[in-house]
Amino acid sequence: MDRPSPPGPSTSPRWAAASPTAPDDRDPPMRTARARHYLMCRPTHFDVVYSINPWMDPTKPVDTPLAIAQWERLREVYLNLGHTVDTIDPVPGLPDMVFAANGATVIAGRALVARFRDAERRAEGPAYHDWLRDNGFPELRTAAFTNEGEGDYLPVGDWLLAGTGFRSDPRSHDEAQEFFGRPVIGLQLVDPDYYHLDTALTALDENTVAYHPGAFSPGSRAVLERLFPDAVRASAADAAAFGLNATSDGHNVVLPQNATGLADQLRDRGFNPIGVDLSELLKAGGSVKCCTLELRRAH
């Protein structure tokens, strides 16, 4: 287990700037950070050798050492924020294992391990199962239906938002509800560029989300508007920069550095956006959140 180093500066002055007053001249709300426990996987074997989403092009070269350096910077940001970061050993032949968020969903000490849709990633599930079993999560189960972990499952308050349309089987929503004992809200994704829920929506705190409306079906947009009328709505440009593939501790939001418009919106809401460069990993359709599985233990 890696222990956090003393808090340090964020990646650039732009992201560390103090929050300005909101457009209506009222002070933004005060936000409270809470230390998180994350699991990550070093991209030692990262490459793009197949295509299972629109972002992947095996004909384009991949700079694995650069991907490792960018990943190490993300890990350093988490440690400087006071979070705990565990790591799982990468497995040769599994180039997408770096995207740890897909390995499972962990809530209150219970872990529902992923069952991947694509044959190229199926061996990742047992690897994450074994790590969780060996590291203090005895209440775990491998999903019976296709379920790609926190790629499609995001806890927000008492709800579990659940994506479907491209990867996770809608039948997995009932399975997750029974396993975790919390209401599951199904959301239909309709744009293949946003093939997982965590590419189109991020949980900012217990009551607040940011999302890209164009990624969802009309009915799912209506659900989000009803549940989160005060949500941050990301532009198409910021969504295309994978800005919603972000993590939040309730105050600090770590997101791709090119999503500058979204960063401004977050700052106006009292959050502290911290930009990072994961451009090499984006060649496989992943960024900050994809690299980060939150380990929520029982309290």
Active-site positions read 196, 290
User: Across-strand partners of 38?
Assistant: 85, 294
Q: What single string gives the DSSP state of each residue in 111-128?
A: EEE-B-SSGGGTTHHHHH
Burial classification of residue 10, based on how many CB atoms lie within 10 Å of its CB (0-12 exposed, 13-18 middle, 19 or more buried)? buried
Cα of first residue to Cα of last residue in the chain, in angstroms, is 20
Decide if 275 contacts 15 (C-beta within 8 A): yes
Decide if 106 contacts 131 (C-beta within 8 A): no
3-state secondary structure string, 244-288? CCCEECCCEEEEECCCHHHHHHHHHCCCEEEEECCCCHHHHCCCC
Look-up of token digits 């977050």 = 266
Enter the tokens of residue 218.
Answer: 């009309």
Helical spans, DSSP H, in 17-139: 64-80, 124-134
What span, in angstroms and rounded, lies between the C-alpha atoms of 45 and 188?
A: 32
What span, in angstroms and rounded, lies between the C-alpha atoms of 134 and 138?
A: 8
Decide if 243 contacts 259 (C-beta within 8 A): yes
Look-up of token digits 């690897």 = 127
